[in-house]
């Protein structure tokens, strides 16, 4: 498919659809890839190699995620759940004969671990208590109070993560659970970026990433005796990478030792830990005009790499790379957009009104000149970030003639602990002001039409969009919010059950500043859309899934009713078969056509 993008045409429709292919993972032999294909009826598990693809399983009305090859490569395990729900089941497919079996089908799966040597060995944890079971669902161990289990290579429970009453976390290790000891304490402010990776081959060291005791997120190894070793830390950036790959850390499949890390500022930067890894990166991951190559899988002998090449102006390409050979393309995540001639992201650095340097990205439609109607796309989290990537939502807006701004406001992840913590107590405060400052800077550069600006976001981004409409109609002519927290005070004081394991961290982010000072109740009210909305607020388009466990539908409908009673124009889209994210193509088509109609009215020239 080539040529210009036409609003309402097939390319535009492909942009508001969810990606066709995702969750790519490489089998240990390096010859086959497992991935998830989305269809109109539900999602399917496929395996593929260049030029040869096989459908393995389908689940109507369900989502599939996390396919993983068992030892030997003949069996693929994967999680699946009813669309909109976050109650996961576990199934497996044997590639040699096509047989499929459901291991756990009651929606209680928390996590599962596979043996690196035995294709049949499996351990899983089940909600609500997260006790451990084997492949036949025989009980193995009762949970002594862990938020997450730590399981070694021989599928033995070796400890876990304990969330303390003060919001901190303890990493406990021990060959005997009754004698497990705390080997690392992670303060409450560092808990959001803690990630446990794996054990070493001899099960003596646990690899994890955290910013505990450090100005940046770094790679550590810890032992059951409490020895902590720093393996990598960047001077100013957090360890991390693209969501399609590992958590910024890759392991040599021959030794099981970490050999490659990454950080991200405006682009991904690889940080090899060994000379061999440096050579392989130079040989197989050479960035260029064709995009940014991201390592997403390695064969057991390390001869074959699965590489996913990120573009900002086209779909993600997944291919197999061998030393000295050209890439063999397996599939694109959005094959219908290959060659569509789409615009690319530009860097957008600026200085906030209080002097803090910030950055982000800008997407302008085609060869447009001068100030344009602009949509500020606010990322969720808020401890997340925007990256240089293909942004289908922004491309859809560009096809309609709107440019988009993507801002990594303070509180975003990736730029060090101090930057992340600067967002604490600033929901609706400095984090929000950063977004307004970005608009002002765009106006000063002659890029943004000051009279035609809208905000759009999901989750936290939806909250920020609503608040902008409620409190700054002088800047924002309309807000589009998907799954937004609407009552900030209630959200922090009485969070839904989904958030209760992390309630201390949530309250810390919302109710206290980085230095521990409480945010006054009057200020919280000013920063809450439920309290701040008034007759002069800008019009809103709000969408929500009735199955959302993170933001109850009643909270959203309550806000919609309240805003309408005040005379605020609100379009509300309720999706009874969706959750926190709108997945189904039919629902996404309805949502994005409503977005187009909303923006056509709100951002029309005066």
Asked if the model's pLDDT at residue 201 lies above 70, the reply is: yes
Give the Å distances, CA to CA, from 114 to 72, 73, 78, 120, 267. 12, 12, 11, 8, 33
CB 513 within 8 A of CB 426: yes
- Say what the pLDDT of residue 3 is: 33
φ, ψ of residue 3 in degrees (nearest 5): 105, 180
For 8-155, list the strands marked E by DSSP. 21-26, 33-38, 42-49, 52-60, 62-69, 75-82, 88-94, 100-114, 122-126, 131-134, 139-141, 148-151
pLDDT-derived band at 162 (thresholds 50, 70, 90) equals very high
Domain boundaries, the chain: 20-143, 345-602
Q: What is the pLDDT of residue 366?
A: 82
Residues of the chain above pLDDT 90, percent: 77
pLDDT at residue 11 in the model: 66
Better-scored residue on pLDDT, 583 or 337: 337
Topology alike, domains 20-143 and 345-602 = no
Confidence of residue 245 (pLDDT cuts 50, 70, 90): confident
Look at residue 240 in the predicted model and tell me its pLDDT: 94
- List, for residues 518-567, the tens digit of each pLDDT value: 888 888 889 999 999 999 999 999 999 998 888 889 999 999 999 999 99
Higher pLDDT residue, 369 or 152? 152
Rounded to the nearest integer, the mean pLDDT of the chain is: 92
Mean pLDDT of 252-267: 96
Determine if residue 333 is left, alpha or beta; phi over 0 gives left, psi from -120 to 50 gives alpha, anything else beta. alpha
Q: What are the tokens at 459? A: 């989750």
pLDDT of residue 571: 97
**Residues 464-496 pLDDT 10s:** 999 999 999 999 999 999 999 999 888 887 877
Which architecture characterizes domain 345-602 according to CATH? 3-Layer(aba) Sandwich (3.40)
Confidence of residue 354 (pLDDT cuts 50, 70, 90): very high
The span from the CA of 319 to the CA of 220, in Å, is 31
Please determine, for residue 165, whether its predicted confidence score (pLDDT) is greater than 90. Answer: no
Q: What's the count of helices (H) and strands (E) in the chain, helices before strands?
A: 12, 35
pLDDT of residue 10: 60
pLDDT at residue 1, rounded to an integer? 26
**Any idea what the Cα angle at residue 530 is, between residues 488 and 594, rounded to 5°?**
105
Structural fold of domain 20-143: Methylamine Dehydrogenase; Chain H (2.130.10)
Question: According to the model, what pLDDT value does residue 530 have?
Answer: 94
Q: Nearest to residue 555, comparing CAs of 462, 471, 449, 446?
A: 462
Share of the chain above pLDDT 70, in %: 97
Dihedral, CA atoms, 526, 514, 192, 423, nearest 10 degrees? 50
Average pLDDT over residues 566-581: 94
CA torsion through residues 405, 410, 414, 415, sign: positive
CB 464 within 8 A of CB 455: yes
**70-79 tens-digit pLDDT:** 999 999 999 9
pLDDT in tens, 323-350: 878 899 999 999 999 988 899 999 999 9
pLDDT digits (tens, 9 = 90+) for 26-75: 999 999 999 999 998 889 999 999 989 999 999 999 999 999 999 999 99
Q: What is the mean pLDDT of residues 448-457?
A: 96
The DSSP 8-state label assigned to residue 3 in this structure reads S
Strand duo 195-199 + 205-210: pairing? antiparallel
pLDDT band at 256 (very low <50, low <70, confident <90, very high): very high
Is a pLDDT exceeding 90 seen at residue 246? Answer: no
Q: How confident is the model at residue 606 (pLDDT cuts 50, 70, 90)?
A: low
Asked if the peptide bond before residue 382 counts as cis, ω within 30 degrees of 0, the response is yes
Q: What is the mean pLDDT of residues 434-457?
A: 97
What pTM did the predictor assign? 0.91
Helix (H, G, I), strand (E, B) or coil at 539: coil
By residue count, the chain amounts to 606
What would the pLDDT profile of 370-426 be if each residue is shown by its tens digit? 999 999 999 998 989 999 999 999 999 999 999 999 999 999 999 999 999 999 989
Is the pLDDT at 290 greater than 90? The verdict is: no
The pLDDT, as a whole number, for residue 605 is 64
């Amino acid at each position: 498919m080539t040529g210009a993008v036409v609003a309402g045409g097939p390319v535009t429709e492909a942009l508001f659809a969810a990606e066709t292919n995702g969750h790519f993972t490489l089998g240990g032999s390096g010859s086959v890839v497992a991935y998830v294909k989305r269809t109109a009826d539900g999602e399917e598990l496929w395996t593929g190699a260049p030029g040869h693809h096989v459908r393995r399983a389908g689940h109507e009305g369900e989502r599939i995620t996390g396919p993983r090859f068992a030892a030997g490569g003949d069996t693929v395990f994967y999680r699946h759940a009813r669309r909109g729900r976050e109650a996961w089941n576990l199934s497996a497919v044997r590639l040699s004969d096509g047989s499929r079996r459901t291991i756990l089908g009651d929606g209680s799966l928390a996590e599962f671990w596979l043996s690196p040597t035995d294709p049949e060995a499996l351990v899983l944890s089940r909600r609500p208590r997260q006790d451990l079971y084997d492949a036949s669902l025989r009980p193995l161990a009762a949970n002594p109070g862990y938020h997450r289990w730590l399981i070694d290579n021989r599928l033995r429970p070796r400890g876990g993560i304990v969330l303390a009453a003060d919001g901190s976390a303890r990493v406990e290790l021990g060959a005997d659970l009754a004698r497990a000891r705390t080997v690392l304490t992670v303060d409450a402010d560092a808990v959001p970026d803690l990630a446990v990776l794996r054990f070493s081959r001899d099960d003596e060291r646990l690899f994890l990433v955290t910013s505990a005791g450090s100005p940046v997120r770094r790679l550590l190894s810890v032992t059951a005796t409490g020895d902590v070793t720093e393996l990598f830390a960047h001077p100013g950036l957090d360890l991390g990478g693209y969501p399609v790959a590992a958590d910024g850390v890759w392991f040599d499949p021959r030794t099981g030792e970490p050999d490659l890390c990454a950080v991200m500022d405006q682009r991904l930067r690889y940080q090899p830990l060994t000379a061999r890894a440096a050579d392989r990166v130079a040989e197989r991951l050479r960035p260029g005009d064709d995009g940014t190559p991201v390592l997403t899988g390695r064969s057991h002998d390390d001869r074959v790499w699965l590489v996913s090449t990120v573009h900002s102006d086209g779909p993600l390409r997944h291919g197999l790379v061998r030393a000295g050979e050209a890439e063999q393309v397996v599939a694109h995540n959005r094959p219908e957009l290959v060659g569509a001639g789409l615009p690319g992201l530009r860097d957008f650095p600026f200085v906030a009104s209080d002097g803090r340097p910030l950055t982000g990205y800008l997407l302008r439609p085609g060869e447009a000149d001068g100030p344009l109607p602009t949509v500020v796309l606010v990322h969720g989290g808020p401890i997340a970030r925007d990256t240089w990537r293909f942004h289908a939502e922004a491309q859809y807006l560009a096809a309609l003639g709107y440019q988009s701004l993507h801002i990594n406001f303070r509180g975003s992840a990736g730029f060090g602990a101090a930057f992340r913590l600067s967002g604490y107590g600033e929901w609706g405060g400095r984090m929000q002001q950063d977004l307004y400052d970005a608009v002002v800077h765009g106006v000063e550069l002659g890029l943004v039409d000051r009279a035609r600006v809208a905000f759009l976001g999901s989750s936290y981004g939806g909250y920020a969009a609503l608040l902008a409409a409620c409190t700054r109609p002088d800047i924002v002519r309309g807000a589009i919010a998907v799954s937004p927290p609407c009552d900030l005070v209630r959200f922090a004081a009485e969070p839904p059950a989904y958030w209760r394991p992390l309630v201390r961290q949530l309250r810390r982010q919302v109710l206290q500043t980085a230095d521990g000072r409480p945010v006054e109740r009057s200020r919280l009210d000013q920063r809450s859309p439920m309290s701040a909305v008034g007759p002069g607020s800008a019009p809103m388009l709000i969408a929500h899934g009735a199955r959302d466990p993170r933001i109850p539908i009643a909270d959203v409908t309550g806000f919609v009713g309240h805003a309408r009673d005040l005379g605020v124009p609100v379009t509300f889209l309720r999706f009874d078969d969706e959750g926190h994210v709108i997945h189904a193509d039919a629902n996404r088509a309805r949502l994005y056509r409503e977005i187009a109609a909303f923006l056509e009215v709100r951002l029309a020239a005066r």
